[in-house]
Structure 1
């Protein structure tokens, strides 16, 4: 293994496509809708709004450029996930409404693939499913519970619970003791973000790169203030991901945490031949703060997840990319899963922030003063943001639709649960982490 100090602290995906940020805002603008955040959630919202109402004047403000943040640092798993704890959603909303939300996100997987083909975006799309794998008796028991719940939500259809031998025939890791094969896809998340931005610009949406939102004044016609000018609109939409907490009304609604990844050099034919993994499926360990693995288009191994770290004061500074303890834990887990790859050399080590909510699920809705919001994808946003763009489209247009009736939407009686303020927050995160580790370690 390459020493940690020798790893490139650069997001691997960012080196797969060149990006030239567009010009920042340098004037005052008046428009119909301004979206704060140029990641997946904001761009899908702009895309679906323009499809529905082509005459709308829509502007997007982005602090860096599309794909720089969470959207371009994702691990590239396109899954039907609607929250970290689907059982809690069932208990709160019932099986029918949970099934409706799950089906909507599942459809988004297919629609993203069609979007890429229709717009000729080469984002290394691989519709090859993923394996939700157990490595302990406790995880295997939870997979059996997940399968039973999936069968109820789908009216009887559910994937087969595979034993160790059958699972290892798909992905030959000796750590795997059982698995569920789940529908999904893999993608280069940065290429998706950049391609989506190009499509949205082609629809006539104006994206102001390098334009952070400093303040929002709600009102009959709310205003977004930036370093170079302000934008006044009929509606403001906040899709700021882990930075959502910086805006009034969301301070204690979002917990920004860091997740980390390692990416190897391209594997040789000899290295690839040591393990059964012919289908190139994604691999996800069945626990809340998961570890996951996949191949990139050029046969690198991406190994990600591991410790999810919160830094006191909601610290999002770039220096948090360099956290040796996170990479050490990732390397230890990698060796547990893939002892046959002791000569695989990692090249990249990087981190990114995730927007965690108290109930581990997304939230959409509106605040007084014509401000709307969508946040809380909890690290599972590639397909959920696509669905969320349709939710926000219909909320902005004032439509009562299947999307605005999804359980995500706060105006239907769902509350935004809060985190405590500091210093209770840091203590609470430590306690929650220990509780989850204890729960997931039970046999």
Structure 2
């Protein structure tokens, strides 16, 4: 537990040559605030649909520095945290359509990487949703039954022995295989960046947005310049709270991960894991594990804290008590890997909204937004890029009709309270989710 560095492992897998910042006042067709997955996919799909559009992106640091490049790399069909609530609100058919759209994105991301020669270390491995106690096993059965009621075919739930043949952890008492993939999220973000630049999109790095001035043609203001555009897209995810319309719609919570040194052949031989599937524990505050491309173990889980005052500062990566808890969880799953050395320990803030599901829409028709992935955004942002494309172009399509869109049928998420009630409520919610998981 000593000697690891508080640096995002993925960021060490590719060097970044940041582009120049915005240093002028210009006009364009579409200005996107945020160069993460949502902004990049939106630019890509807009350019495919309308190549003549002049699209500019302003990014606070560089693409992949924020939540997109800190993700654990699970490409899953997940929509938020509570599919049951979405079924109750929108019905099984609309929930199924949304799930299928995100499911298609899993495959399309792989095709995009192959077509554009993006070495995102994409592995179509599926992932294993595992139960480590009877309450989680009950939740697996419940989720499977709900998916079947929606009309989605589901695999059987496996008992302990066949589950451990897939991933040889003594903690596993049952599992269900789910379609998905693994990816290096940072290399994916950098690869999309290259592709959209080749498409003619201009990206200004080190250009944080200071404000958006509304109007018939809204203006994005940075320290170095201004961009007036026909349409502005707010794609800042966890930083949406910088804009007054979203100040109390989203809060930042922190998630943490540890990454080991590459495992030796001897270490690898101790655990059945031939398929390299991602492993996800069936609970609200997820524990997950996976191999990286170079056979390191990435293990994430433990607490998901909210820090008072919406604290998103990088100093929160240095939380030794969090990493002790993650390491204890790791040993619960893999006691035979007690000698595995961890060299990276890091974290990042993700956005959480009250209904735990993404939201897309517009303000006055010319300022659009997409946020609310709640830590499940790699596939959903790809789908969201198509949603925003069609909303920007004014197209009535299958994507603009998905349940993600805020309209007369679905309102923006409820507001969070101000401090200090927010801090107390966030802590109480975390305790409630733990209690709920124990009684599932």
Above 0.5 in TM-score? yes
Q: Deviations over 1:54-77 (max 9, x none)?
A: 010000000000000011100000
Q: Aligned equivalents of 2:365 and 2:149: distance in 1?
A: 41
Distance between the aligned counterparts of 1:306 and 1:52, measured in 2? 42
Query: Equivalent of 1:164, from 151, 160, 173?
Result: 160
Residue 406 in structure 1 maps to residue 402 in structure 2: yes
Q: Is the 8 A contact 2:238 2:350 kept in 1?
A: yes
Q: Which among 54, 58, 63 is matched to residue 61 of structure 1? A: 58
State the number of aligned residues.
439
Residue 404 of structure 2 aligns to a residue whose secondary structure is coil
Deviation of 1:369 after TM superposition, in Å, equals 6.2
1:109 and 2:111 are equivalent in the alignment: no
Kindly indicate whether the alpha-carbon contact (under 8 Å) linking 2:60 and 2:207 is maintained by their aligned counterparts in 1. yes
Q: Is 1:50–2:84 an aligned residue pair?
A: no
Per the alignment, residue 355 of structure 2 pairs with 359
Q: Is the CA contact 1:38–1:65 (under 8 Å) kept in the aligned structure 2?
A: yes
Which deviations, in whole Å up to 9, do the C-alpha atoms of 1:212-262 show, x marking residues without a partner? 000001110000100000000001100101101111100011111110010
Q: Describe how 1:91-106 pairs up with structure 2 within 5 A.
A: 91-106=88-103
Q: How many Å apart are 1:413 and its aligned residue?
A: 2.2
Residue 343 of structure 2: SS of its match in structure 1? strand
Cα offset, 1:270, TM superposition? 0.5
Consecutive unaligned residues of structure 2, counting only runs of 5 or more, are none
Partner of 2:263: 267
Shift of 1:182: 0.2
SS in 1 for 2:246: coil
Task: Tell me whether 1:144 sits opposite 2:136 in the alignment.
Answer: no
Give the secondary-structure state (helix, strand or coil) at the position aligned to 1:8: coil
| Displacement after TM superposition at 1:368 (Å) | 2.1
Query: What pairs with 1:405-424 in structure 2 (closer than 5 Å)?
Result: 405-416=401-412, 417-424=414-421
Distance in 2, Cα, partners of 1:419 & 1:432: 12
* Structure 2 residue matching 1:313: 3-state secondary structure: coil
Once residues 344 and 25 of structure 2 are traced to their aligned partners in structure 1, the CA distance between those partners, rounded to angstroms, is 41
Q: What is the rounded CA distance, in whole Å, between the counterparts of 2:408 and 2:10 in structure 1?
A: 38
Moved over 2 A (4+): none
Alignment of 1:347 with 2:343, yes or no, is yes
Alignment of 1:178-327 (within 5 A): 178-327=174-323
Contact 1:257 1:309 in 2 (8 A): yes
Cα separation, 2, equivalents of 1:91 and 1:368: 29
CA contact (8 A) 2:132 2:171 kept: yes
TM-score by length of structure 1 reads 0.98
Q: How does 1:9-28 map to 2 (within 5 A)?
A: 9-28=6-25
| Structure 1: unaligned runs, 5 residues or longer | none
Query: Aligned partners of 2:252 and 2:373: how far apart in 1?
Result: 11
Distance in 2, Cα, partners of 1:237 & 1:149:
34
Q: Deviations over 1:195-228 (max 9, x none)?
A: 0000000000000000000000111000010000
Partner deviation per Cα, 1:319-364 (whole Å, 9 max, x = no partner):
0111112111101100100000000000000001101110000000
The equivalent position to 2:385 in structure 1, one of 382, 385, 389, is 389
Match of 1:129 in 2: 126
Residues 297/407 of structure 1: CA separation in 2 closer, same or farther (3 Å cut): same
Query: Is 2:134 the counterpart of 1:119?
Result: no
Question: Which one of the candidate residues 29, 34, 37 is aligned to 2:31?
Answer: 34
How far did 1:412 drift? 3.9
1:380 aligns with 376
Q: Secondary structure at the match of 1:308?
A: coil
The equivalent residue for 2:172 is 176
